Structure 1
Amino acid sequence: MKVLAVLAHPNHKSLSYAFFQQVIQGSQENAHITEIQVLDLYEEGFDPVLVFNEEKRRRDMHLDPKLALYREQILWADKLVFVYPIWWGRPPAMLLGYIDQLFASNFAYRDHGGLLPEGLLKGKSAVCISSMKGPAFYPLYWLANAHKMLMRKALFRYVGIKQVKFFEFGNMESKQGKQKEKLERVYRYFKAVAH
């Protein structure tokens, strides 16, 4: 299994970065994972801003040469892993900009006139590891589970990815947040995951 791990947090002293390191360490110790590639969107200087004009059209985004390496990474991977904070009930703009540009028509999905498109990333799986200051039940009850619905249904299912695992951790700025236990949980998952 080949893993692409994507980090969307600007601070390498953050808890998100610590989770990212646990993904890498666990993956490196897992005999089922043959290769891992890492993408730190902020360190990479990824530009999340969409630009469409007469020279750059949305329908051609799947051919944008500036995004070719990122498309190759997604095609290469069996498992896509996204590590990010929850800000304002959703992933940060950096990750959403990556999604907007990479999960493009004729690359991640193809319209064919039906109600739903053909997902072109079938067979892959995804893992979302997110953390937030507020309690874990906040997005579930107060926001009608919007974050998971966004990622699972509006994104992954749309492009053909059916197997999605969530680690959604709350109270991460609290002394009682059990940060070490949660880091260990992520590490153990990636050390043992087989598909």
Structure 2
Amino acid sequence: MFTEKGAGMAARIFIWVGHPRETSLSHGMADAYQKAAEAEGAETRRMNLHEMDFDPDLTEGYHARKTLEPCLEEWRENIMWANHLVWAYPQWWGGMPAKMKGVIDRCFLPGFAMAYHEKGPWWDRLLAGRSADVFMTSDAPVFWDALSYRRAAKNQVERPVFNFAGIKPFRTFQFGPVKGTPQEKIDTWLAKASRRGAAMGRKLAKA
């Protein structure tokens, strides 16, 4: 069972790009955040989804365990090492990309992310002591996503993933629409990611 907590350590940030393509705006936001955080003295580790080779299908649920591929073992080790997580990815069909969700399905298992009580419906949140930032892009305007879909992708990562495992506080930054947006506007989004990275690098260094 994983029990180590990230709190009380030096600034340790694990950045995960959840876009399955090799290049994307998500990568650019992660680059900006990472560079700024490191400039403030934070130690970072990073993984990119497109470089991860694994079976995303949990298949048997929690009834039978699959052996974790090396990249999934590394991903879990980085979660345990960090006291702050940064996930950057696109919103697709009201949620995260399927391959990204596959990492969570395979890795956020009992004994790692949570421990269910033998009696009753409750559980222990095993990843407590870590905070998180999410940088999410979408082709829908943010106001339309809120009006029509009630920020479904934001709720997906914040409530049944981070909060369930004890990761808090968390903050989600959503940018859209990406399609048709001029580079000047995108540059302001990248600058926002950079400012957040610098701020968290300073904040974590003082914790």
Sort the TM-score into its range (normalised by shorter chain).
0.7 to 0.9
Residues 114, 141 of structure 1: CA spacing in aligned structure 2 closer, same or farther, 3 A cutoff?
A: farther
Q: Which moved more, 1:173-182 or 1:161-170?
A: 173-182
CA deviation after TM superposition for structure 1 residue 138, in Å: 2.3
- Would you say the 8 A contact 1:11–1:17 is kept in 2? no
Instruction: Map 1:50-89; keep pairs closer than 5 Å.
Output: 50-52=58-60, 58-59=62-63, 61=65, 64-66=67-69, 67-89=72-94
Q: Deviations over 1:22-47 (max 9, x none)?
A: 1221121122x1x1111111123243
Q: Does 1:40 align with 2:48?
A: yes
Percent identical pairs in the alignment equals 29
Q: Deviations over 1:61-119 (max 9, x none)?
A: 4x834333222111111111111000111110111111111111111100013433110
Q: Which residue of 1 aligns with 2:135?
A: 129
Q: Which residue of 2 aligns with 1:183?
A: 190
Q: Which residue of 2 aligns with 1:110?
A: 115
Distance in 1 of aligned mates of 2:109 and 2:99: 16
CA deviation after TM superposition for structure 1 residue 51, in Å: 3.4
Segments of structure 1 that go 5 or more residues without pairing to the other structure are none
- Would you say the 8 A contact 1:85–1:92 is kept in 2? yes
Q: Normalization by structure 1: what TM-score?
A: 0.88
Instruction: Map 1:116-155; keep pairs closer than 5 Å.
Output: 116-155=122-161
- Would you say the 8 A contact 1:10–1:42 is kept in 2? yes
Distance in 2 of aligned mates of 1:171 and 1:65: 36
Segments of structure 2 that go 5 or more residues without pairing to the other structure are 1-10
CA deviation after TM superposition for structure 1 residue 186, in Å: 0.4
CA deviation after TM superposition for structure 1 residue 13, in Å: 3.5
- CA RMSD of superposed structures (Å): 1.9
- Would you say the 8 A contact 2:114–2:124 is kept in 1? yes
Q: Does 1:17 align with 2:17?
A: no
Question: Which has the higher relative contact order, 1 or 2, with Cα contacts under 8 A spaced 6 or more apart?
Answer: 2
**2:37 is matched with which residue: 27, 31, 52?**
27
- Would you say the 8 A contact 1:132–1:172 is kept in 2? yes
Q: How many residue pairs are counted as aligned between the two chains?
A: 188
